[in-house]
Amino acid sequence: MVSPFRVGKTVNPRRLSINDSFHDVVNNIRGAIDKLNGLWDEVHMSEAARTSRVNTAFEHICSLLSDMVKSEECMIRNVGIEISDGLRKINRMRSQLGMEQWENKRAPPGSIELRNSINSEIRKLLPLFETRQNEQAELIDRLHHLCFRLGFDDSEFSIPTESDELISGDKLGALDARRLELEDVLHKRVKKVQKWQKELNKFVRKLGNDSLSEDEDLRSLLTVDFANEETSVTESVVDTLEEYYDRWCQMYTEYVQEREFRWLELYSRLSELWEACHVADIERLIPPCYNPDKHSDKDIDKISTEISRLESLYAARKDVFDVLTAWKEKWAEKLALEEKKKDPEYFQNRGRENNVYLDAKVQTF
């Protein structure tokens, strides 16, 4: 056995500093005992008292050394436990991240250096691992929220119970594909109900609010913000809104058809009066067709009022308007004849005598 006081070729160089410290401690103890003996000599202390005091001091020293040994033994055991636990943690994280197993290429087995290397590797892996954990948690949360909005069962989506466990890459890909599918379903539903909601609001504005005031469910559906992330767009909501849309669309179609027919009827009469009263084209501002997005019953009433005005005007000035109408007809015939004579064939075909004779009557005008 190598003496702790021996320094030579057989002693490991790593232990020189420890041996030097041990030598200093022994020298300090010896110096302290010599000083104590000098002090005790001054008071002529008995040998028994001196022995008792020295034994007490040595007991404290031995106790301190024993505690130090136990503490270091515990430290060594903890280093081993940390190495074992750290290796398992590293390999588990790397496996779930799709990496190869970690290899110790330098540190001695069971050493503090190995423990420190393991801790360093864990610190490198944790940010990546936590990022993956956050991503999968966000994905699961989004899936739960989509199920809430669509009214689907979300029991198939769950996060692993172990806090340090990741979902496998294949399952994560399948969950993300499911998310895209649900996002598409939600987008189409929202787009559909928003369209129906917009059309229903148009129908209600056109048909009046009397029916709406009696239907609280419809009033609620027309004010819901279906694009809001906290709004649920279940199949029952979609079906209910579709039923309302079909019912009101039928009512709206009948409403529009009645007004289209009435508009055409009035416009036909109005056109006759415009011609009879020789109203200038620039003053004929009423369009020929009914547009439900622009016109209301007030516009139909305006046509009726205009018809009444023109009928009264025509009745009052019928003779003048009739003469003007006859003149315009003759003038149109004359213009047509002059245009016909511009054609070289007019005087060269076999029936030119008849043409000239018949058209001459028109020229008498």
Give the pLDDT band of residue 191 (cuts 50, 70, 90): very high
What's residue 346's pLDDT? Answer: 64
Q: Which of 188, 186, 197 is CA-nearest to residue 221?
A: 197
- Alpha-carbon distance of 260 to 200, in angstroms, equals 20
Per-residue model confidence as pLDDT tens digits over 330-348: 887 888 777 777 777 666 6
Are the C-beta atoms of 157 and 175 separated by less than 8 Å? yes
Mean pLDDT of the chain: 84
Angle formed at CA 17 by CA 14 and CA 19, multiple of 5 degrees: 100
| CB within 8 Å of 8: residues ≥ 6 apart | none
Residue 92: is its pLDDT beyond 70? yes
- Alpha-carbon distance of 333 to 359, in angstroms, equals 10
Q: HSE of 183 in the Cβ direction (CA atoms, 13 Å)?
A: 9
What's residue 185's pLDDT? Answer: 95
- Alpha-carbon distance of 36 to 30, in angstroms, equals 10
Are the C-beta atoms of 50 and 40 separated by less than 8 Å? yes
- Alpha-carbon distance of 5 to 11, in angstroms, equals 10
pTM of this structure: 0.65
Per-residue model confidence as pLDDT tens digits over 134-167: 998 899 999 999 999 999 887 777 665 455 678 8
Are the C-beta atoms of 107 and 114 separated by less than 8 Å? yes
Domains of the chain, residue spans: 19-167, 188-341
